[in-house]
Amino acid sequence: MRAGLIIAGILLIAIGAAAFTGNLNFTKDKEVLKIGEFSASVKQEKSVPQWLGGIGALVGLGLVAAGAMRKG
């Protein structure tokens, strides 16, 4: 359990840091027009908010600290 907390914390720190620096993007397809069988869609590229990345990194630090202080 101790190693699991530390590994999860490290992963959250890495993903949170990537989001905080603005390097974590995703693409969303949005259908804007549909007439019969004809449809038009737009791809929108969005990024994860920086505040969410900061919170994720802080939670990751907490998990690493909890895993390090835990006995066993």
Query: Within a 10 A sphere around the Cβ of 49, how many other Cβ atoms?
Result: 13
Whether 1 has a pLDDT exceeding 80, the answer reads: no
Q: What is the pLDDT of residue 72?
A: 61
Half-sphere CA count of 18, side-chain side, radius 13 A? 10
Domain that holds residue 42: 2-69
Into how many domains does the chain fold? 1
Beta bridge partners of 40: 33
Q: CA 48 to CA 57: how far, in whole Å?
A: 13
- Tokens of residue 40, six digits: 């038009």
Helix axes 50-69, 2-20, angle to 10 degrees: 160
Q: For the segment 6-60, what is each residue's pLDDT rounded down to a tens digit?
A: 899 999 999 999 988 888 888 999 998 999 899 999 999 988 889 999 999 999 9
Asked if residue 41 lies in contact with residue 29, where contact means CB atoms within 8 angstroms, the answer is: yes
pTM for the structure as a whole: 0.71
